[in-house]
Amino acid sequence: MLKTLKDKWPIIALVGVSTVSIAFVVTLLKTTDAFKSPEQAEIGSIQAVDDSPVLSLANQSAAQREAALTGFAQRMNGLEGDRAHYMLATDYINQNQADKALPLLEGLESSYKDLSGYVLLRRGQAQAAAGQTDAAIATWTQLTQTYPDDPAAAEALYQIGLSAVEQPANSALPNSEPAPLPEAWSQLIEAFPSHPLSVNVAFRQAASLAAKNAVALPLLKQVAYHGLEHPQYTQALDRLVNDYSSALTPEDWEAIGFGYWETQNYGKAGDAYAKAPGSPRTQYRAARGKERGGKGREAVVIYQLLDKTFPTHPETASGLLNLANLQDNQAAIATLDSIIERFPDRAADALVKRADILDELKSPDSAQQARASILSQYPSSSAAAELRFKQASANAKKGDYDAAISWARQLVDAAPQDDLAAEAGFWLGKWTLRRNQPDAARKAFEQVVRNHPESYYAWRSAIYLDWNVGNFDTVRSFQPTLSLPEQRTPLPAGSAALQELYLLGHNQTAWNHWQTEFIDQKQPTVSEQFSDGLLRLGVGDNLDGIFMVSSLSWRELPDEIAEYEALRQTPAFWQAIYPFPYPDLILGWAKERQINPLLVTALVRQESRFQPDIRSVVGAVGLMQVMPETGAWISDQIGQENYSLTLPADNVKFGTWYLDFTHRQYGNNSLFAVASYNAGPGAVAGWIEEKEFANADEFVEQIPYPETKGYVESVFGGYWNYLRLYDPAIAAKINALN
C-alpha cells in the first residue's frame, strides 16, 4: 500500500452547482479533469473566469459535445466562438476527420490571439492527416518563423524534424557514425531545452551517440536539468555520473542531486549534493542523503559543516536534530542543548529527544524535567500536544475520565490547530459523554468538525452529532447526492496561453507548454507548485499531482504560509486532493456491487492514488492493488479466465468484487470489510474474537497492525472528505458551524 500523505482540508461551501444523482455522475465526469470550481473564486492573483458555455463542455467526450460545439462555432463571435472553433477542430483531428477540422481553423490565428501558435500547429496536423505533407511542413515552418518563442513552435519543430528522420536517406549512413540530428531538432534543443519533446530528442540522440562511443555530455546534461519526467531519467543521471564525472560543474552536481532526490535515490543524491555549490539546502541534503544511504560518518561531518557555515538557517536546525540521532548520548545532548538555545521554534522537538536520551541514561527525574519544560515553555507545540494526549489516553485507559478530560482540554485549548487536536477533541467528546455531560460533548464534537473538517475524527464526530453521513454499519448502503463543479478555475501561475489550454481541457498540450514556463522546479513558488499539481492531475499523474498539492502544507516561510492558507480556502485546492479519475469505471462498478460510490473512490485513492500501473513492494497490482493470487481466486469465483490486473477495467471489477466479498463476510460492516481488504479476513476475524472492545472506535484503536489502523482511518477519512466536498447537504452543515 502507498504511504499516506499528511493532508489538511478546510470547510468547503459548495455554492452554485447543480445537484445530480449518482446515475448522472458518470455522464458529467468523463475525464480525469473534474477539478473545476463551482464558484467565482479568486486563486492567487487570477480571477476565476465567468461561466463559459464552451469551457463547460471541456469534460465531455468529443461525441457528446460535437452538436453543441458546432452550434456555438456557427453563431458565436469573439472569444467563445474562437474557443468553439479550436475545440471542435482539435476533436476532429483526434478523430482522423481532418477535412472537417481545416475549415474551422482557417484564419483563426488572427482572432484567437492567446493560441495563435497552437492554431497553426493544429492546422499543420490536419494537413498532415489529410495527406498534404508539404502544406503541413510549410504551415509548421510559418509557425516557427512567426512565433519563434511560442512553445507551440517546439511541437512544430519536432514534427518537421520527425519528417526528416523518417526519410529513407538516413538509413544509408555508415554503421560507425551516429545519425546526425535534423536541423529542426537542433533548433528545438537550443530554443526549448525544457520542452518534453526536446528532452525526448536529447535522450534519443544521447543513446545513439553512446552506442557509437561518441560524446553525449551536453545532451545528457539537458536531460539531467529538464527531464525529471522522462521514464529513463535516472539512467541518464547514472550515465552522467559514471562516464563524465570529471567534466561536471558544481551546478551540474546540484541538478543531478535534485534529480536523484526527487526520484528517491537518496544515497546517490547525497553524494551528488556534496559536490554542489554550498547552500543550506544542498548541504542539508548532502548530509541527509548520505545518512539515508548508510554513510553515517560522512553525514556527521556534513551536518557539522552545515552548522558552521549557516548557523542561523532553519535547515540547520533540522540538520542538527538529525545529527543528534547519529551521535553518542553525551554528544547528542550537547547538540540538542544547542538547538534549544539557538532555535526556539525547534526547541520542543529537541527537548523530546533530550528526554528520551535521559531515560536511556537512567535519569528519569531529568527526563521528566525536560518534558515539563515542553509543557510550560512551549505549550502550543506539537511536542506538547503529544505529551498531553499520551497522558489523556493513559488516564482514560485506567478509567480516570476526569483526568483524561482535563489533559484533552488542555491540548485542544493550547494547540487547537494541531493535528492531534482533532483526535483529542473527539475523545474528549466521548469521555464527557461517559461522564454524562452531553452539552460539553456536543461542543467538543462541533469543535472538531469546525477546526479539523478534513480529519477522520470529524467524520466520527459528525456521527455523534447525529448527522446523516453513514456509520461503519450503514455506510455501504448510504447513497449520497453529489454536486459536481461544472467549470475549472484558472491556474494561479502561467501565461494566458497556458490558461486557455488548461481551461479547454487540452491536458497534454498544457503540460508540455508548462514545462517551458516552470523554470525553477527546485524552489517553486506556492502558486507554481499548485499549478504543477493541477497540470499533473490533468495528464493522469495523480500520485505526484496529489502530492504536489498536499505538500504545500510543508511551507515554513510566513509569506508562503499566508499564500498557502489563502489557497486552501478555494474549492479547486481540495478537489485536486480528492479528484474523480476513472469515474465511469469506479462509480459504475460501485453501483453494480451496491457499495457507496464514495467509499469505493476513497479506497482506490488510498490504494493507488489512481495510478493504474503501480505495483506495491509485495506485488499488489493496479488501481485497487489486487494481489495476483487473490485475482486468480476471484477469476474462479466469477468465471472470468482472461483478465489482466494491469488493466483498469479488470482491476476495478475484481477489486470491487473482493470489497463486496469482505462486506458479505462481516454482515456489511464496512469497518471490518475495509480492514479485511488490507489485512485479510483471517486476521480481522482473529481480532474480533480475541479483542474486547465496547464499540467501533475502540476496535480501531486496538487494531494490532499499525498499517491497517492507519489504512482504516485513511480510507474512511477519504470517504468523509469526498462526502463533505461533493454533497451539498453535508457542506452546508459544516459551513453552518462557522
459 and 391 housed in the same domain: yes
Same domain, 236 and 126: no
| Pair 719, 591 in one domain | yes
Asked whether residue 293 falls in the same domain as residue 396, the answer is no
Q: How many domains does the chain have?
A: 4
User: What's the rounded mean pLDDT across residues 285-312?
Assistant: 98
Tell me the percentage of the chain whose pLDDT exceeds 70: 91
Q: Are residues 593 and 716 in the same domain?
A: yes
The answer to whether residue 420 is domain-embedded is yes
Task: Give the span between the Cα atoms of 612 and 654, in whole angstroms.
Answer: 14
Residue 12 has a pLDDT of: 25
pLDDT at residue 225 in the model: 97
- Nearest partner of 32 among 648, 655, 712, 731, judged by Cα: 648
Angle at 24 between CA 653 and CA 581, to 5 degrees: 50
User: What is the per-residue pLDDT for 59?
Assistant: 87
**Domain stop point among 403, 436, 467:** 467
Q: Which three-class secondary structure state does DSSP give residue 43?
A: strand
Residues 6+ apart with CB under 8 A from 208: 178, 179
How far apart CA 674 and CA 722 sit, in angstroms, is 17
Question: How would residue 571 be classed by pLDDT, with cut points 50, 70 and 90?
Answer: confident
In a domain, 673, yes or no: yes
Is 130 found in the same domain as 264?
no
527 part of a folded domain: no
Residue 27 has pLDDT above 70, yes or no: no
CA distance 364 to 357: 10
**Is 693 a domain residue?**
yes
Residues 265, 398, single domain; the answer is no
Nearest CA to 712 out of 690, 697, 730, 694 is that of 697
Report pLDDT digits (tens) over 360-372: 999 999 999 999 9
The answer to whether residues 260 and 318 belong to one domain is yes
Measured CA to CA, the distance from residue 226 to residue 220 in angstroms comes to 10
This prediction's pTM:
0.89
Assess if residue 519 is contained within a domain.
no
Digit-coded pLDDT (tens) for 400-416: 999 999 999 999 999 99
3-state secondary structure at position 431: helix
Residue 436 maps to a domain: yes
Co-location of 162 and 236 in the same domain: no
Return phi, psi of residue 495, to 5°.
-75, 170
594 with 680, same domain: the answer is yes
Q: What is the pLDDT of residue 173?
A: 45
Structural domain boundaries enclosing 306: 215-326
Which of the pair, 621 or 175, is modelled with greater confidence?
621
- Can you tell me which residue has the cell 470550481? 37
Q: Measure CA 417 to chain center.
A: 23
In a domain, 435, yes or no: yes
Residue 161 lies in a domain: yes
pLDDT for 250-270, tens place per residue?
A: 999 999 999 999 999 999 999
More confident residue, 125 or 22: 125
Percent of the chain at pLDDT exceeding 90: 85
Residue 114's Cβ-count burial label (10 Å; 0-12, 13-18, 19+) is middle
The answer on 290 and 394 residing in a single domain is no
Contact in structure between 492 and 46 (CB atoms under 8 Å): yes
Residues 77 and 147 grouped into a single domain: yes
Q: What is the pLDDT of residues 130-185, one digit of tens each?
A: 999 999 999 999 999 999 999 999 999 999 999 988 765 444 444 556 668 899 99
For the domain that residue 411 is a member of, what is the CATH number? 1.25.40.10
